[in-house]
Amino acid sequence: MRIVIAGGSGFIGRKLTELLHAQGHSVVILTREAKKSDGNIAYVQWLSEGSSPEKDIGYADAFINLAGVSINEGRWSRMHQKQIYDSRMTATDELLRIISLLPEKPAVLVNASAIGIYPASETSIYTENSTERANDFLGKTVSDWENKAKQVEEQSVRAVFMRFGVVLGNEGGALPLMALPYRLFVGGKVGSGEQWVSWVHVTDVVRAILYVLNNDTLRGPVNVTSPSPLQMNDFGKTIGAVLHRPHWMPVPSLAMKMVLGQKSALVLEGQHVVPQVLQQVGFEFMFPTLHSALEDLFLR
Q: Please report the pLDDT score of residue 37 as a whole number.
A: 82
Q: How far apart are CA 107 and CA 105, in angstroms?
A: 6
| Alpha-helix residue ranges (DSSP H) falling in the chain | 11-22, 53-57, 78-101, 137-150, 175-183, 202-214, 232-243, 253-260, 265-268, 276-280, 290-299
CATH architecture of the domain with residue range 2-299: 3-Layer(aba) Sandwich (3.40)
What are the tens digits of pLDDT across the range 69-108?
999 887 889 999 999 999 999 999 999 999 999 999 999 9
Q: Please report the pLDDT score of residue 178 as a whole number.
A: 93
Burial class for 195, CB neighbours closer than 10 Å (0-12, 13-18, 19+): buried
**The dihedral of CA 249, 235, 162, 143: what is its sign?**
negative
Q: Domains of the chain: which residue ranges? A: 2-299
**The dihedral of CA 126, 144, 207, 183: what is its sign?**
negative
Q: How far apart are CA 266 and CA 260, in angstroms?
A: 10
Question: How many CA atoms does the CB half-sphere of 146 hold within 13 Å?
Answer: 20
pLDDT along the chain (300 residues), means of 10: 95 96 95 83 92 93 96 86 97 98 97 98 98 96 98 98 97 92 96 98 98 97 98 98 96 89 91 98 98 95
Q: Please report the pLDDT score of residue 5 as a whole number.
A: 98
The CB density around residue 119, as the number of other CB atoms within 10 Å, is: 16
Give the predicted TM-score (pTM) of the model: 0.96
Q: Please report the pLDDT score of residue 73 as a whole number.
A: 80
Q: Please report the pLDDT score of residue 270 as a whole number.
A: 96
